[in-house]
Structure 1
Amino acid sequence: MTPSANQLSILFPGQGSQAVGMGVALAEEYPVARAVFDEVDEALGQYLFELMAKGPSEELTLTRNTQPALMAVSIAAFRVLQDAGLGYGTMLGMAGHSLGEYSAYCAAGSISLTDTAKLLRLRGEAMQSAVPVGEGAMAAILGLDMDHVIAICDETGAEIANDNSPGQVVISGAVAAVDAACQMAKDHGAKRALKLPVSAPFHCTLMKPAQEAMAEALNAATISAPEVPIYSNVLAAPVTDPDMIRQTLTEQVTGKVRWTETIKRMEKDGTRTFIEVGAGKVLTGLVKRIADDSKAINFGTPADFDNFRDAVAH
C-alpha cells in the first residue's frame, strides 16, 4: 500500500461536518483512535467523546464543543491511516477548512494533540463571545461568481468568509448586511442565498476580539515546523515556519478561507489524490467541483477503509 510520492494530500473538515455518532465506529474498531478521544477528553476535562457519541445535537453544535470534537475525529482517523502505512513521505501536503487547519498542524506534528484541543476550545469560546447571539449571520450564495459576490458585499457591508468552490461563496457580517446581500444576490440571479444555522459570523472583521484572544494563545503555544507543508487558508500557499503558522492562524479568525485557490494550488503543485480525513464528505464534494484532474475520497469510518486502500494502490 504505497501511494505515489508527493501526489497525495490530506484534507481536514471544518464546522458543519459534525453529527452525533461521529467517531464511534473508529473508537470501537481501532485502539489508536480510542486513545485520541481519551486524550482530548483529558485535555479539556470533559467527556467530549460521550457528547459526540450520544448527543444531544444542540450541545454538540455549540462552537466550543464542535471545534475540538471535529478535530478529534480527524486526528483519530488520520492515526488509523498512519497505522495502515500512510507516511509523511508519501504526502505533498495537508490543508484544513477553517478549524480543520488546526487538525492539519496537529496531524503534521506541529502542535500536540492536547494543545490543539485546548486552542480549539479557546477559539470556539472566543468566536462565540465576540458577537452577541442574534447580531451576526452567515449565508451561502450559490450560482454567482466571486467578483459578483464581492461587488454585492462592497455595496451592503457584508464580507466574504469562504470561497468554497466555483459558484459557492459564504458571506458573513452583521445581520442587516447579510440579509441585504442575500436579497441583492437573488435579484442578481443567484440560484440560492441561504442563511446558515450558525451562532456567530465567522471569518469577518466582527471576529476581531476573537482574533486578539487567539493571537495571545498562539504566541504562548509550542509550535514546531510540520512534517509536511500545510496550505494556509489565508495565503492559499504552503507554510512551514512556526512564526508564520502563528501569524496565519491568527489572521484566519477574521480572514477569508480561500479554499478554491488552496485546492487549485495543491493540484498545481502535484496533488493527484485528495483524502478528506474525519467526519463527513463536505470537502470531498468541493474538491470534485474544483480539481477536475484529481481524485477525491474520504476516510471517516472503518467502512471507508476500502476507498482509502484503492485510492493509494493506483
Structure 2
Amino acid sequence: MWTAVILTGIVAAVTIGGLQSIARTAEKIVPAMAIIYCASTLGFLIIFYDKIPAAIIEIMTDAFTPTAATGGFLGATVMVAMRNGIARGVFSNESGLGSAPIVAAAAKTKWPAEQGLISMTGTFIDTIIICTMTGLVLVVSGLWNGDMNGATLTQGAFLQAFPNFGSMMLMVGLVLFAFTTILGWNYYGERCCEYLVGVKGIMPYRIIFIMLVACGAFLKLEAIWVLADIVNGLMAIPNLIALLGLSGVVVSETKAYYAHLKEEKMQTRVTGRISETFKE
C-alpha cells in the first residue's frame, strides 16, 4: 500500500505538478545505477565463475527438450520457449513496438539513418548484455527452481554473493529504473494522445495514467506479464505493418547515409593527400 501511495504521489507531482527536477535527478542517477548493476552482476559471475559453463549448457539443453514444457513435445516446447523469450525480449528493449522512436524522433539530426543506428544500440545493451547477465545469475544461483519470482528471485540470487548489501543495492536500482520507465511511458502516451485528440486530451490521460500506477502495486506478477504481453502485441501489430510499408524508405535513407559516409571518407583522403603534397 505504501509503495503505491509514495510512487503515485511522486509520479503525480512530476506529471501534473511539473516537478521536473525529480525526473532530471533520476535521469542523472540511472546511468550510474546501470553501471553499478552491470558491475555487480559481473562480480557475481566472477565469484561463481566455475558454475557458468554448466549454467549455459543447462539453458541451451532445457530450451530444446520436452522437459521444458509440462506434457509437451519438442515442437510445442520450442514454440513456448520462443514465445516467452520474444515476449520478454520485446518487453526489455521495446523493439518493434514503435515506442522508442517517439523519443528518437525528437532528436535533431541531419540523417535519420544515423539516429536509427544509435537507437539500435539500446536493444543490444538491454537484451544481449544486461538480460543475458541477469539470466546467467539466476541460473547459476539455482533459485529459479524455487517458488520465488521477479525481483524477489533476483534479490535472492544477489544475496548469495553480496549478503550484506545485495538486497539494498538491487532495491535502489529497481526503484530508479522503474520510476524513470514510468515517466518515459507517460511521455509516450502523452504524445500519442496529443496526436489523436489534441492538447485537450493530455490532462485526462495523465489522470488515468496516475490511477493505473496506483493500481499496479496491487496486481499479481503473473497478471502484469499477461497484461503487458497483450498491450505490447496491440502496439506491435500496427507498427510492424507500418514498418513493412515504410521498408523502402528505410532502405533508401540507409543507402543515402552510407553513401554520404563513403563520400566523406574519400574527401578526407583527398584532402590529406593534397596537404602532404604541399608539405613536400
Both structures adopt the same fold (TM-score exceeding 0.5) = no
Q: Which has the greater radius of gyration?
A: 2
Higher relative contact order (CA 8 A, sep 6+): 2
Higher strand share: 1
TM-score with structure 2 length normalisation?
Answer: 0.28
TM-score (norm 1): 0.26
